[in-house]
Amino acid sequence: MENIQRSLVLIKPDAVERNLVGKIIDAYEGEKLKITALRMITVDEILAKKHYEEHISKPFFNELLEYITRSPLVAIVLQGENAIEKVRKINGNTNPEMAEYGTIRKKYGIDKTKNSVHASDCEISAEREISIWFPEGVKK
Ligand code: GDP
Ligand code: MG
């Protein structure tokens, strides 16, 4: 049975700054994931806090907030078969040092904070995150 899902992806500031947007999008499109929404935005603290609310009490939260707001990022909705798991596999482990060969974070990630990409971790998160980044709604 088909399992069409959506995932909210961020191409984070460290990747946009190093002109990696095209290469990263190519990795997703090459795996039959469809872009259904895309925008470039410099995030303010309010939006960043909303997106990362589950991490508010973590020791790395302030560093994360400062980094994610420092320059533009690209927010994307990807849709396709098993999109949630597929995108997280393409991205690789949170820590670039631990990431599998061939993944985006292995290739481009700098460190635990500056790891180039974000992707939703389940369908509930995906819908929550899509409504944060695309409040006008995204057609399925
Ligand atoms: P993800 O779902 O793989 O992005 O990882 P998490 O949801 O656990 O963390 C969100 C983001 O916070 C990560 O993508 C990193 O940018 C940052 N982060 C997570 N864990 C750490 C950590 O242990 N140290 C630091 N400095 N940053 C972290
Ligand atoms: Mg996460």
Domains and CATH numbers, the chain: 4-133 (3.30.70.141)
**Stretch (H or E) spanning 79:** strand 73-81
Q: Ligand nearest 55 Cα, by number?
A: 1
Predicted confidence (pLDDT) per residue in 28-81, tens digit: 999 999 999 999 999 999 999 999 999 999 999 999 999 999 999 999 999 999
80 phi-psi bin (left φ>0, alpha ψ -120 to 50, beta other): left
Residues contacting ligand 1 via CB (< 6 Å): 55, 60, 63-64, 94, 112-113, 115, 118, 121
Whole-model pTM: value is 0.98
Q: What band does 1 get if pLDDT is binned at 50, 70 and 90?
A: confident
Torsion of CA 110, 102, 75, 19, to 10 degrees: 60
Which ligand 1 atom minimizes the distance to the CA of 63? 26
Q: Which residues are catalytic?
A: 118
**27, 78 contact by CB (below 8 A):** no
**78, 94 contact by CB (below 8 A):** no
